[in-house]
Chains A and B, each alone.
Chain A
Amino acid sequence: MSVIVVLLGFSMLLAAGFLVAFLWAVRSGQYKDKHTPSLRILFDSKRRDSHDSSPPTS
C-alpha cells in the first residue's frame, strides 16, 4: 500500500512540473502572439548582427 502512496507523490510532482511549465509559458507571453513566431522561423539569420542572414524566399 505504502508504495502506492510514494508513487502517487512522484506522479503528482511530475504533473505539477508540467503545470508549472504551462503557467510559465503563458506568463512569458507565448500565448500572446501565436502567429508571428511561425513567420519568424522562416528567416535564417543566425545572429542579430550576422551579415549572412537572408530574407525569406517563398
Chain B
Amino acid sequence: MGFQEDHVITSTTLCAHCGDPLNGPGIIHDGKAFCCNGCRVVYEILGSTGSCPAPVVQPVGGNRFAYLDEPSVVERLREFSDGHVSAVSFLIPQMYCSSCVWVLEHLYRMDSGILLSRVEFLKKNIAIRYNEEKTSLRKVVELLTTLGYEPRITLESVDRSAPPPPERSLYYRIGIAGFCFGNIMILSFPEYLSGGTVDAQLRHVFAYLNLILSLPVVFYCSTGYFQSAAGGLSKSLFTIDVPIAIGIAIIFLRSVADIVTGAGPGFLDSLSGLVFFLLLGRLFQNKTYDSLHFERSYTSYFPLAVTTRRQGRERTAPVSDLRPGDRIMIRNNEIVPADAVLIGGDAAIDYSFVTGESRTVQKIPGDLIHAGGRQVGGAIELDVVTEVSQGYLTRLWNETSFAGTPRRGLATLANTVSKYFSAGVLVVAACTAVYWLPRDPAMAFDAVTAVLIVACPCALALATPFAFGTALRVFGRNKFYVKNTGVVETLAGISTIILDKTGTLTRSSTSAVRFVGTPLTDNQKSMVASLVRNSHHPLSRTLYESLMPLPLCAVRQYHEFPNAGIEGEIEGLAVRAGSRAFAGARPNGDQAGDPEADATEARVHVRFGPEPLGYFALAGIYRDGIESLVTRLRAEHEVILLSGDTDWERPQLERRFGTRLPLYFEQAPADKKAFVAARQQGGATTMMVGDGLNDAGALQQADVGIAVTENIAAFSPACDAILEGSHLTRMDTFIALARTTKRVVLWSFAISVLYNAVGLSFAVRGALSPVVAAILMPLSSVTIVALSTLAVHIIARRRELLS
C-alpha cells in the first residue's frame, strides 16, 4: 500500500508518448511532457509525415568532445578495431523506456557510418560498431549527445578490469545438476516402488547408470563447495561449506561402496538433489541490480581527458598523464580532476559530488581547489599540485577501499550455527561408532556414514539465501537497493545509526520557494540573489538556486551574523536577509512566541535599507517525516548526527530532533571515518547513512554503509546499499524487516534440526535406507525454502512493504 501511495504522489504526470510516469521533472517539449528523450524523438517522428526526419536536437557546442579525436584516447576507449570497423560501448544513464531502446538501436539511420548499435537496457549500456572511414568516435558521441543521451565517459571506462560475473558458470552447473538429478530419480524409482521385485541385472544397470550420472554432479557442479571449504580451512575458518563438502564426499563414497559391493543402490538421488537445491539457493542469492554499482571508485566520476596549456598552446591530454606543475583549463561544467591552485578566471566550484550539497564556492587566484569540484561559469586556469590518484579526497577513498576490514561475511549466522551443528553431529557419529563397533563392525560403518549423510546441513545452508534473498527483493521494490544478502543480515544486528546531516536529513534538490509580502522587482530579486550567493547556509543556497538565473550585482561589506542572518551593501543600499528579528518587520511585541519554530516551512526575511518587504517561505528543507523517523529509530538504536557544517544550526536541529540527540559538527571526511571506527572499537555494529564523497570513508568503514541519493542513476559512492531519498523515512521498517527475517532464519534452523533428529533416529540404528533419505532430504529442503520465502513475504506485506 505504502509503496503505491508513494508512487502516486511522486508522479502525477504521465509521458505524452509512452504513458509511463515521469521520472523527475521529465522533458518538456512543445508543451508536452515526456519521460525521456527517446519518447520525445519518437513522438516527433510519428507526428511528422512518413519518412524519418532529422529529429530536433540541440547541437553540441564548442570543443567539448575534442579529446575524442585524440588517437591515444580513442585507442583506450574502443574495445576492438580491425582498421575499418571499431567497436565501443558506453554507459548511458538517461535510458528510461522502450523508446530509448528504439532510438538508440536505430542510430544507423542518422549516421550511415554506424553499422550496429545494441542496447542492454538493464545495464544501461550500448554497444556500437562503426565504420572508421565514414565516421569517428567523436561524431558518434556527439550524435548521442545531441539526441539527449550523453554517454558517461569517465576514467573508469578505460580502466575497466572488472571480470565478467560468474553467473554463466552457475547456470551451467544448475542445468547439469538438474539434468542428473531428474534422471537419477527416475532410475531410482523402480527400486523404491517395486518392493524388491526388480530383476537383479536391471538393478545393476540402473545403479551403474546412476553412478555415471552422479560423476558430473560431484566433480563439476559441486567443485565450488570443495574449493570454498578448502579455502576456509586453510585460513582456519570453519564455514558452512565445510560440513556441506564433507557431506557430499561421504554420500558419494558410501554410494560407490554400496553399488560396487552390490549392497544397495546408494544415495545418489539424495546427493544430486542436494547439490541442485544448493545451487538454486546460490542463484536466488545472487540477485544483482545491473545498473547499480556498489564498488565505484573516484575513477567513475573523473573525466577522461582535460585541456592542458603548454607554452600558450592548448591540447587535450589524458587525465592520468597529469603531473604536478601542469597548467590545465577547466570550462563550464567540467570537473577539476586533480588538486590544483587557481591561477586565473572566476572560479565558482560546485562541490555537490564531494559534500552532497549543491552549493557553489567562490575561489580567488591562489586558492587550492580539491579534485572533484565542478566549475560553474567561465573557464578557469589551474596549476596541478598533486597527481590525480594522490588528491586529498581520492586518497581518502583509496585508503579505505584497500584497507577495508573484511570482518563482514565471516561471522554470519549460518557459519556460526553450522559450527555447533557439526560438533553435535560428530558427537552423535562417535557415539554410534562406540556402540556398534564391538557388536557389528560392518554395521558401524553403515551407521556412521548414514549419520553423516543425513546430517548434511543442506536445510541450514538453504534458509539463509532464500530468507535474506527474499528480503533483498522486497527492499528493491521499495527503492532500497542492497548489495548482497550478507548486508541484510548485518542490518538486522545494527546497534548504532550514524546519520549525515546535509543531503541525508535535508533534501539536496531545490524545494518550493514563494515570496510573501510586497512583490519584489527583478532588480530587487537580483540583489537578494547576489547577497545570499555569499552564504553557505542551506537556506541561502536553496533561495539562491530558486532565484537564478538572474544578473548578479556586486556586494560590498558582506557580513554574516550567526543565528541571525547576513547583510551586505548593494548599490549603496544595506540589504539584509535572515531571521524575523534580524531582517523582518520591526519588533512589535509578539516576538516571544517565535512563529518560525512551529511553521513547517523555513522563512527568510529580507530588508532593503530600513524597509522590510516580506519573507521567502521555503518548504521542506528537511525531508518530510524525518523527525518521526529519528524518533522511531531512537527507540531501538543509538542515533548520532554528524555534520560537516559549523554548529550554527544546532538550535534549529535541537528544536527539531530534541536536545538528547548527539550532534557532532565540523566533521571532516576523515573525522567521520574515525568516528565510525571508534564506535566499532567500542563494540557497536554501526550503520552509516550518508551521501557524497565526504562520507565515502565512513560508508566503507561502517558495518553497513547506505548511500542516499535523489536519483538512482546518478553517481553514488562505494557503499553496501543505495537508498532513494524519498524512501529514507521507511528506514526503520527496513531494519525491522531485516530483524524479522533473521528470526525466520532461526526458525528454519530449528525445523531443519527437527528433520535431522528424525533422520538421525534412523541412521544411528543403521536403518537409513536410500528411500528414507530420498524422501527426507528433499522434503526438508523444500520445506525450508517454502517456509522462509513465504514467511518473509507475509511479514513484508504486514509491514506494508509489499502490496
Contact across chains for A15 and B183 when beta carbons are under 8 A apart? yes
Q: Which of A5, A31, A36, A58 contacts B168 (CB 8 A)?
A: A31
Give the nearest-CB partner of B202 in chain A.
A1
Digitize A14-55: 1 where CB-to-B-CB distance is under 8 Å, 0 elsewhere: 011011001100110001111110011011000010010111
Contact across chains for B122 and A5 when beta carbons are under 8 A apart? no
Chain A residue contacts of B172, Cβ below 8 A: 23, 26
Chain B residue contacts of A53, Cβ below 8 A: 106
Contact across chains for B45 and A55 when beta carbons are under 8 A apart? yes
Contact across chains for A26 and B18 when beta carbons are under 8 A apart? no
CB distance from B267 to the nearest CB of A (A): 21
Contact across chains for B202 and A33 when beta carbons are under 8 A apart? no
CB distance from A37 to the nearest CB of B (A): 9
Q: Which of A5, A42, A48 contacts B98 (CB 8 A)?
A: A42
Contact across chains for A31 and B42 when beta carbons are under 8 A apart? no
Contact across chains for B202 and A36 when beta carbons are under 8 A apart? no
Digitize B175-192: 1 where CB-to-A-CB distance is under 8 Å, 0 elsewhere: 110010011000100000
CB distance from B373 to the nearest CB of A (A): 36
A22–B228 Cα gap in the complex (Å)?
A: 27
Contact across chains for B182 and A35 when beta carbons are under 8 A apart? no
Q: Does B608 contact A (CB under 8 A)?
A: no
Near A by CB (< 8 A), chain B positions 338-365 give: none
A58–B225 Cα gap in the complex (Å)?
A: 48
Q: Does B167 contact A (CB under 8 A)?
A: yes
Contact across chains for B123 and A26 when beta carbons are under 8 A apart? no
Q: Does B382 contact A (CB under 8 A)?
A: no
Contact across chains for B42 and A55 when beta carbons are under 8 A apart? yes
Contact across chains for B176 and A56 when beta carbons are under 8 A apart? no
Contact across chains for B122 and A36 when beta carbons are under 8 A apart? yes
Contact across chains for A36 and B120 when beta carbons are under 8 A apart? yes
Contact across chains for A58 and B18 when beta carbons are under 8 A apart? yes
Q: Number of A interface residues, CB 8 Å? A: 31
Digitize B100-142: 1 where CB-to-A-CB distance is under 8 Å, 0 elsewhere: 0111011010000000000111110000000000000000000
Q: Which of A4, A26, A55, A56 contacts B202 (CB 8 A)?
A: A4
Number of A-B contacts (CB under 8 A): 74
CB distance from B20 to the nearest CB of A (A): 9
CB distance from A29 to the nearest CB of B (A): 9
Contact across chains for A22 and B175 when beta carbons are under 8 A apart? yes
Chain A residue contacts of B597, Cβ below 8 A: none
CB distance from A40 to the nearest CB of B (A): 7
Contact across chains for B120 and A33 when beta carbons are under 8 A apart? yes
A32–B182 Cα gap in the complex (Å)?
A: 26
A27–B176 Cα gap in the complex (Å)?
A: 14
CB distance from B210 to the nearest CB of A (A): 12
Digitize B6-48: 1 where CB-to-A-CB distance is under 8 Å, 0 elsewhere: 0000000000011100000000000000000000001001100
Q: State which size class the interface on B falls in.
A: 35 or more
Contact across chains for B121 and A39 when beta carbons are under 8 A apart? yes
Contact across chains for B199 and A1 when beta carbons are under 8 A apart? yes
Tell me whether A26 and B42 are in contact in the complex, defined as CB-CB below 8 angstroms, given that A4-B202, A36-B121, A36-B122 are known contacts: no
Residue from B121, B123, B199 having most chain A Cβ neighbours under 10 A: B121
Chain A residue contacts of B19, Cβ below 8 A: 58
Q: Does B557 contact A (CB under 8 A)?
A: no
A21–B396 Cα gap in the complex (Å)?
A: 50
CB distance from A22 to the nearest CB of B (A): 5
Residue from B102, B167, B199, B209 having most chain A Cβ neighbours under 10 A: B102
Contact across chains for B175 and A56 when beta carbons are under 8 A apart? no
Contact across chains for B99 and A56 when beta carbons are under 8 A apart? yes
CB distance from B249 to the nearest CB of A (A): 25
Contact across chains for B183 and A12 when beta carbons are under 8 A apart? yes
A31–B290 Cα gap in the complex (Å)?
A: 13
Q: Which of A1, A31, A57 contacts B201 (CB 8 A)?
A: A1
Contact across chains for A56 and B102 when beta carbons are under 8 A apart? yes
Contact across chains for B119 and A8 when beta carbons are under 8 A apart? no
Contact across chains for B119 and A36 when beta carbons are under 8 A apart? yes
CB distance from A43 to the nearest CB of B (A): 6
Contact across chains for B18 and A19 when beta carbons are under 8 A apart? no
Q: Does B171 contact A (CB under 8 A)?
A: yes
Q: Which of A15, A32, A34, A48 contacts B179 (CB 8 A)?
A: A15
CB distance from A20 to the nearest CB of B (A): 10
Give the nearest-CB partner of A31 in chain B.
B171
Chain B residue contacts of A56, Cβ below 8 A: 18, 42, 98-99, 102
CB distance from A23 to the nearest CB of B (A): 6
Give the nearest-CB partner of A4 in chain B.
B202
Q: Which of B46, B120, B171, B175 contacts A55 (CB 8 A)?
A: B46
A58–B46 Cα gap in the complex (Å)?
A: 12
Chain B residue contacts of A43, Cβ below 8 A: 102, 105
Q: Does B66 contact A (CB under 8 A)?
A: no
Chain B residue contacts of A42, Cβ below 8 A: 98
Chain B residue contacts of A1, Cβ below 8 A: 199, 201-202
CB distance from A27 to the nearest CB of B (A): 8
Chain B residue contacts of A57, Cβ below 8 A: 46
Chain A residue contacts of B101, Cβ below 8 A: 36, 39-40
Tell me whether A5 and B205 are in contact in the complex, defined as CB-CB below 8 angstroms, given that A23-B172, A31-B171, A55-B102 are known contacts: yes
Contact across chains for A19 and B179 when beta carbons are under 8 A apart? yes
Near A by CB (< 8 A), chain B positions 148-191 give: 167-168, 171-172, 175-176, 179, 182-183, 187
Tell me whether A26 and B171 are in contact in the complex, defined as CB-CB below 8 angstroms, given that A55-B102, A56-B99 are known contacts: yes
Contact across chains for A35 and B121 when beta carbons are under 8 A apart? yes
Chain A residue contacts of B205, Cβ below 8 A: 5, 8
Give the nearest-CB partner of B176 in chain A.
A19
Chain A residue contacts of B17, Cβ below 8 A: 58
Chain A residue contacts of B199, Cβ below 8 A: 1
CB distance from B767 to the nearest CB of A (A): 30
CB distance from A48 to the nearest CB of B (A): 8
CB distance from B201 to the nearest CB of A (A): 7
Chain B residue contacts of A26, Cβ below 8 A: 168, 171-172, 175
Contact across chains for A33 and B121 when beta carbons are under 8 A apart? yes
Near A by CB (< 8 A), chain B positions 533-585 give: none
Chain A residue contacts of B187, Cβ below 8 A: 8
Residue from B17, B101, B108, B205 having most chain A Cβ neighbours under 10 A: B101
A22–B101 Cα gap in the complex (Å)?
A: 27
Near A by CB (< 8 A), chain B positions 695-714 give: none
CB distance from A57 to the nearest CB of B (A): 7
A12–B187 Cα gap in the complex (Å)?
A: 11
Contact across chains for A40 and B105 when beta carbons are under 8 A apart? yes
A22–B202 Cα gap in the complex (Å)?
A: 30
Near A by CB (< 8 A), chain B positions 363-416 give: none
Chain B residue contacts of A22, Cβ below 8 A: 175
CB distance from A26 to the nearest CB of B (A): 4
Give the nearest-CB partner of A18 in chain B.
B179
Give the nearest-CB partner of B108 in chain A.
A48
Knowing that A34-B122, A40-B101, A48-B108 are A-B contacts, what are 15 other residue pairs whose CB atoms are under 8 Å apart, sorted by A's residue number? Answer: A1-B201, A5-B202, A15-B183, A16-B179, A22-B175, A23-B175, A32-B120, A33-B122, A36-B119, A39-B98, A55-B42, A55-B102, A56-B42, A56-B98, A56-B99
| CB pairs A–B below 8 angstroms (15 shown) | A5-B202, A8-B187, A8-B209, A15-B183, A19-B179, A23-B172, A26-B172, A26-B175, A31-B171, A36-B121, A53-B106, A54-B46, A55-B99, A56-B18, A58-B98
Q: Give the interface of B toward A (CB within 8 A).
A: 17-19, 42, 45-46, 51-52, 98-99, 101-103, 105-106, 108, 119-123, 167-168, 171-172, 175-176, 179, 182-183, 187, 199, 201-202, 205, 209
Closest 5 CB pairs of A and B: A55-B42, A39-B98, A36-B121, A26-B171, A19-B179
